[in-house]
Structure formats: structure tokens, C-alpha cells
Amino acid sequence: MWQAVVYQALRDTLSYDQRVRDEALSFLHHQTVDLNMVCDMASVIPRKVLDAAKYLEELGPREGVVYLGQLFQNTRDEVTSHEGNNQD
């Protein structure tokens, strides 16, 4: 669930609604206690989320959607590739 929160915040940086985009960028421009908590719960590295937000802002909505899709596919692949590898 927390990965969905991170994904939505990143997705909102690509919104055509200026208010939505500004709120997302405000949340994702600085490593705050709230951002650290969300990232910790989502098992992602805050610095990488901040870097991704900055890059998405530079790309814009059209190209950013493609990048974001690839980014989260890679994240899901990393998470699922470690499941079932519990070696005692």
C-alpha cells in the first residue's frame, strides 16, 4: 500500500492540474520526516524518490509517464525477485 502512496505522489508531479503538481513537488522536493516515513513504509530509498521526482519534473507529463512506468516495474521486479529466497 505504501508503494502506491509513493507512486501516486510521483504520478502527481506529472499532473496537468497545476495545484496537484505543485503539492506533489512540494512534498517531494525535500527529505522531510513525513517523506522518510512514507519511504520507509514503502521500502524505498528517500533520496531515489527525490531524484525521481526531480527527473519527472524535467521530463514533463508525456515522457514522464513512460519513465515512471519503467521505474515502478523495476521496483516491483526487485521486490518480487527476493520473495521466496528465505535461506536459513
The grid coordinates of residue 33 equal 520526516
**Predicted local confidence at residue 88, as pLDDT:** 39
Question: What pLDDT was estimated at residue 27?
Answer: 95
- Write out pLDDT tens, residues 17-75: 999 999 999 999 999 999 999 999 999 999 999 999 999 999 888 889 888 888 878 76
To the question of pTM greater than 0.85 for the whole model, the response is no
On the question of pLDDT at 86 being above 50, the answer is no
- The answer to whether the beta carbons of residues 24 and 12 sit under 8 Å apart is yes
Cα three-residue angle 38-31-25, rounded to 5 degrees? 85
pLDDT at 19: 96
* The pLDDT value given to residue 87: 44
What pLDDT, on the 0 to 100 scale, is given for residue 71? 82
pLDDT of residue 78: 63
Report d(CA 32, CA 36) in Å as an integer. 6
